[in-house]
Amino acid sequence: MRQLQVNPVANPAGPDRVTSAESLPMLDPDTIRRCVRAALDEDSAADDVTTRWSVELGKHGHAEFVAKAPGIVAGLEVARVTFELIDPAVQMLARVADGTSVGPGDVIAEVSGSLRSLLTGERTALNFLQRMSGIATLTARFREAVKGTGASIYDTRKTAPGLRALDKYAVWVGGGCNHRMHLGAMVLLKENHVAAAGGVEEAVKSVRANILRESRPLKIDVEVETLEEFRTALRLQVDWIMLDNMELEDIRCAVREAAQAEWKPVIEASGNITLATAATIAATGVDVISVGSLTHSAPALDLSLLLRR
């Protein structure tokens, strides 16, 4: 097997990102178990009639997770816990680490134990590994697309319901940064919040009054669609300004004005950004590019679990 390399873009700099090579976040064990239990319950893993009726009780075997396409591995611990919850006697040995670049034919991990347990857990383990590795792979491609521009790639809350922690971990493994994890982590005034409040200034003033009232010094990110809204947000000295679906020249203008202002917010570009457009947008000088497709449209990485005789 060829020598495998840990993803070289797994620790990019970002406005809120630690860059230490040892800083890759660990998924909370309870979160992993909650996600895996829900998946096994959904699959009626305790009633796998196909396996129970076709495989003799007591047979043991060995299988390998094999890559069938190039990509970045993520989710190995989730796969391991899948088999553990089905049968604690099953042993899984990772041959690579999360963040490793693999290619067709590379063995990612090995599992051994009861054949019934291996077959029952196969699809659930693959579902997690393929989804998380697909997200990590797409994130790495976006990172490569904006390499050298200074822009960081961020995810959004457009994650699979119930799997946000896994999705965002996979983004991190692929070299991206995590935007707010949940609604209570940061203030993000979107278009509808601004409309409901009566405008950008009214929304920001209301938020700041409640920050003081509740003693919760959270950062404020304001989504703007025009240069007029941008200038209002800049004057109000919010922490982040999200330029949503703005034309390139307007983005360049906003970046220039922010650079000349006394207050320096994080400038974020967002809105249907693709691999084809990411480099051009990053070249405008924005600090952050947030990409919903990292988690809502990443193709699953093609992996298989193969029994070895």
Instruction: Count the residues in the chain.
Output: 309
Burial of 219 (0-12, 13-18, 19+ CB in 10 A): middle
- Selected catalytic residue, list 98, 244, 268, 287: 244
- Selected catalytic residue, list 123, 208, 219, 231: 123
- Selected catalytic residue, list 17, 33, 68, 158: 158
AA identity, residue 142: F
- Selected catalytic residue, list 84, 98, 223, 287: 223
The closest of 51, 137, 152, 142 to 99, measured between CA atoms, is 137
**Residue 223 is among the residues annotated as catalytic for this protein:** yes
Task: Give yes or no for a contact between 54 and 300, defined as CB atoms under 8 angstroms apart.
Answer: no
**Residue 112: how many CB atoms within 10 A of its CB?**
18
3-state SS, residue 80:
helix
**Residue 123 is among the residues annotated as catalytic for this protein:** yes
- Selected catalytic residue, list 190, 208, 219, 252: 190
**Residue 158 is among the residues annotated as catalytic for this protein:** yes
Strands (E), the chain: 5-6, 60-67, 71-72, 91-94, 100-102, 107-114, 152-154, 187-189, 220-224, 240-244, 266-270, 288-290, 303-308
Catalytic residues: 123, 158, 190, 223, 244
